[in-house]
Structure 1
Amino acid sequence: MTKHNIYTMSFAKVYPNYVAKAEKKGRTKAEVDEIICWLTGYSQEEFEAQLVKQTDFETFFEEAPQLNPLRNLIKGVVCGVRVEDIEEPVMKEIRYLDKLIDELAKGKSMDKILRK
């Protein structure tokens, strides 16, 4: 089975797109970082180290210190696919992140995004 191209793409190359999407809608880089750290369990320093290392998406999620147990509450459609129906683990994590960034850009409060 061939891996999807996103798996081998550097997270650091896509990260500015997450930030730009949020900032275009009046949100901040700090909020994007908070979402990423909430989802993965990385501290801000650990997250920044992953960016410097140009870690690929697959490794980024595999090395995540503690994937948030509340992430299974993330529901909805990303790229025409229901997040909760994705079976491949790495793709599911990527789409969880995509969905959270979408929610941020749509103006949801951080409490709701972080499932508090």
Structure 2
Amino acid sequence: MKRAYDHDQRIASMTFAFVYPHLLAKVEKKGRTKEELHQVIKWLTGFNEKALQKHIKDELTFEQFFHKAKLNPNAHLITGVICGYRVEEIANPLTQKVRYLDKLVDELAKGRKMEKVLRAG
């Protein structure tokens, strides 16, 4: 149990600015664009380009980042395994939101159609 708590705390204190370049590199390496990554982030969080850039500049932790986010009402449709965890079964709400983002970025990088990534149809 302590291990899960430590994992959740580590995720909460990690900054979005630290993780963002890795997300961008992952999608660009697979032929996707920065704009597509931002579209995915906007869909999940509601952050427009200006807000996203401010949050990166301000080096918000994931806890702060998702506290400011307006999570998409269809986020619960994100299912599957990421980093060895089924996202729909993650008990900690913040960790689940971060894994939602991981899952969406993973699907984008794997070439899934944008309408499928964004749970549009």
TM class by smaller structure: over 0.9
Counterpart Cα distance in 1 of 2:85 and 2:14: 21
The alpha carbon displacement at 1:97 in A equals 0.3
- 1:108 match: 112
2:84 maps to amino acid = G
Spell out the pairing of 1:79-94 with structure 2 (5 A cutoff).
79-94=83-98
- From 46, 55, 63, the equivalent of 1:50 is 55
Counterpart Cα distance in 1 of 2:29 and 2:47: 25
Runs of 4+ in 1 over 3 A off after TM superposition: none
- What is the CA deviation profile of residues 18-48 of structure 1, one whole-angstrom value per residue up to 9, with x for unaligned ones? 0000011000111111111110011111111
Aligned: 1:63 with 2:61: no
- 2:13 match: 8
Counterpart Cα distance in 2 of 1:35 and 1:4: 25
Unpaired runs of 5+ residues, structure 1, are none
Q: Say what the alpha-carbon RMSD is for the aligned residues.
A: 1.0
2:73 maps to amino acid = P
- 2:36 match: 31
Counterpart Cα distance in 2 of 1:28 and 1:81: 27
The alpha carbon displacement at 1:107 in A equals 0.3
Counterpart Cα distance in 1 of 2:50 and 2:105: 20
- 1:17 match: 22
The alpha carbon displacement at 1:50 in A equals 0.4
2:45 maps to amino acid = T
**Length-normalised TM-score, structure 1:** 0.95
How many residue pairs get matched? 115
The alpha carbon displacement at 1:4 in A equals 2.3
Unpaired runs of 5+ residues, structure 2, are none
SS in 2 for 1:72: helix
Counterpart Cα distance in 1 of 2:85 and 2:15: 23
Identity of aligned residues (%): 50
